[in-house]
Chain A
Amino acid sequence: MSKASILIIDDELQIRRLLTITLHGDFVVSEAATAKEGMLMAASHPPDLVLLDLGLPDENGHDVLRHLREWYNHPIIILSAQTSEEDIVKALDAGASDYLVKPFRTGELLARIRTALRKSTTADHGPVMTFGNLVIDFAARKVTKENVTVKLTATEYSLLALMARNEGRVLTHQHLLREVWGPSYVQESQYLRVFVAQLRKKIEADPNRPSLILTESGVGYRFSGT
């Protein structure tokens, strides 16, 4: 299999160099310093993934994201120096696949890139997914932990199934509420909190130190299968 291609759109030369050094072993890397250049490069040689800095000098990063999403269907990972949760949620809602707040660890970056690329190549996971000693059988709507059936309510199951299918990917509170409870529930975050706590009690080895359902503070949740 040929190397996946990644386009970095970031105005800071040092960051581009760091990213290129981090990535060029496993990926084909190209760089753009401005939004305009980035859009041109993405259009002429569509990459398998875009790393997009939200703070570009020539155009608002949210607008770049929106314009790219009009035709570009591969993953876009947002890099941002702004820690505002609102900003992150806005980018995720606008179609970003994931986000990393500067400063980030390179290990974290690589993990996010791999998850995003895997997501885009294998949309279908098949009927059974295994995460350590937790097995989800989507065909039978059955969950077992250490070979013992976990009794889940219908809502708990829907929530778990949705998160597991998007393993490694951050899902915003609004997204989870809309998908599991319905569009009129997007503001009812207390439901989500309660059900996540219940689910953790049933599937986590230590519900106080979750290793499967991870909290992305102020943004949403991320299911981690590793």
Chain B
Amino acid sequence: MVQWLKERPYLSSLMLIGGVTLLCLGIHNLVGYRVVAFMLLVSVSILALFLDIRPVIMAALGSALIWDFLFIPPRFTFSIGSTEDGLLLLTYFIIALIHAVLTYKIRDVQKKVREKEAREGQVKFYNTLLNSLSHELRTPITTIIGAADNLLTLRQGLSEQDREELLHSIASASVRLNQQVENLLSMSRLESGVFQVRRDWVDIRELIHRCVQRLEPAINKYRQAIFIPDNMPLVKVDQGLVEQMIHNLISNVIQHTPEGTDVIVRADYADGNLTLTVSDTGKGFPEAEIGMVFEKFYRVKGSRPGGTGLGLSIVKGFVEAQQGRISLRNLPLSGAEFTIELPAEASYLNGIKNE
């Protein structure tokens, strides 16, 4: 309501001044026309609290004219009977104007303070971002530059084994660098505001198996289980987004749980919702931090280095872009479970007769 009125400043000024004028027309015989001036002045001050300077000045001017025309004797003319009333009208207008200007200035200062605070918050956020990024990007870049330098300058001085090792470190650092860049690109895609969800029919079974395969050989050090009901329908979701969501969740398990534990991926469809869960049998998350793991650049205290702290927030962003929900809980015995629910159409087009 307040917002609606704020967006229509001239209409709300007119309504308030008009209302007060009507009220005063009813009671001015009891209180006298000078009290009316104060009531109108209060209305203008109230408007000054909420509105921009121009509509308030209009209200000040308008209400002065109304007071003159309707209330100052002789009534229903703009002429003023006594010098006293003339001075009063002038004073009225000046006070109303000062109110309008002062209130506007105060609000302007407040606005600037708020903007400054927001800017400082942003600076702090970007500092965290830059710290995290410079570490995550510079580590692989340092490896690549250093290894390449060695290969270029030492040449024949290097043993075959050293050369091999340097080449492998360039290759693996490049892969790591590429992952970080992919994450950053996903994040900026999400935040750009031009992000589009492209839904199409997806075979979830195929997609999950492909995600798992893409994570080889790292995932082979874990016990994998995939549970998908036999009558799983095709679902209409954004294949690229769902693929990256599952990829990031499984990567997160690989990153943070010891080798030899389980990675379990489940998919199911019921009541218009696709449910995907990724769970592990690691040590779970500290209860106090569960609410924060989806925040950008948040890293669970004492977690292994590597990763930008973006993976889970990208998952959350992608889930929400598809009007879905994501939750995390620790499992009763050990490990944690991420659950994603996505509203999606389903198609039970299995075994079509095509002859």
The residues of A with any CB-CB pair to B shorter than 8 Å are 83, 85-86, 103, 153-155, 189-191, 193-198, 208-209, 215, 217-218
Contact = CB atoms under 8 A, between A and B. Distances in A.
B210 interface: yes
Interface residues of B, number: 24
Given A193-B203, A218-B239, A154 B209 contact: no
B239 A217 contact: yes
B206 interface: yes
Contact of B347 (A85, A154, A190, A195): A190
A217 B210 contact: yes
Contact of A209 (B174, B209, B234, B351): B209
Contacts of A193: 201-203, 206, 234
B210 A215 contact: yes
Contacts of A83: 185
Nearest to B244: A217
A189 B349 CA distance: 11
A24 to B, nearest CB: 21
B212 to A, nearest CB: 9
A198 B351 contact: yes
Given A86-B198, A194-B351, 17 more contacts: A85-B198, A85-B240, A155-B354, A189-B200, A190-B349, A191-B349, A191-B352, A193-B203, A193-B206, A194-B349, A194-B350, A194-B352, A197-B205, A197-B206, A208-B205, A217-B210, A218-B200
B178 interface: yes
Given A193-B234, A215-B210, A154 B349 contact: no
Interface string B313-355: 0000000000000000000000000000000000101111011
Across chains A and B, which 5 residue pairs bring their CB atoms closest together, nearest first? A190-B201, A155-B354, A208-B209, A193-B203, A190-B347
Given A197-B206, A215-B206, A218-B240, A190 B234 contact: yes
Nearest to B347: A190
Contacts of B355: 153-154
Interface in B179-227: 185, 198, 200-203, 205-206, 209-210, 213
Contacts of B354: 153-155
**What DSSP secondary structure best describes chain A's contact surface?**
helix
Nearest to B171: A105
B243 interface: yes
Contacts of A215: 206, 210
Contacts of A196: 203
Contacts of B209: 208-209
A189 B201 contact: yes
A179 to B, nearest CB: 15
A197 B203 CA distance: 8
Contacts of B200: 189, 218
A170 B312 CA distance: 32
5 contacts: A190-B201, A190-B347, A193-B206, A196-B203, A217-B239
Contacts of A197: 203, 205-206
Contacts of A155: 354
Which of B185, B200, B347, B354 has the largest number of chain A CB atoms within 10 A?
A: B354
A103 B239 contact: no
B207 to A, nearest CB: 8
A206 B117 CA distance: 58
B313 to A, nearest CB: 20
A193 B205 CA distance: 11
Nearest to B352: A194
Nearest to B214: A217
Interface string B96-119: 000000000000000000000000
Contact of B234 (A103, A154, A194, A218): A194
A97 B209 CA distance: 28
Contacts of A190: 201, 234, 347, 349
A86 B198 CA distance: 10
Nearest to B208: A208
Contacts of A103: 174, 178
Which of A83, A190, A195, A209 has the largest number of chain B CB atoms within 10 A?
A: A190
A196 B352 CA distance: 12
A23 B347 CA distance: 46
Contacts of B234: 190, 193-194
A209 B212 CA distance: 10
Contacts of A189: 200-201
A190 B239 CA distance: 13
Contacts of B351: 194, 198
A57 B136 CA distance: 31
A197 B349 CA distance: 12
Interface string B293-317: 0000000000000000000000000
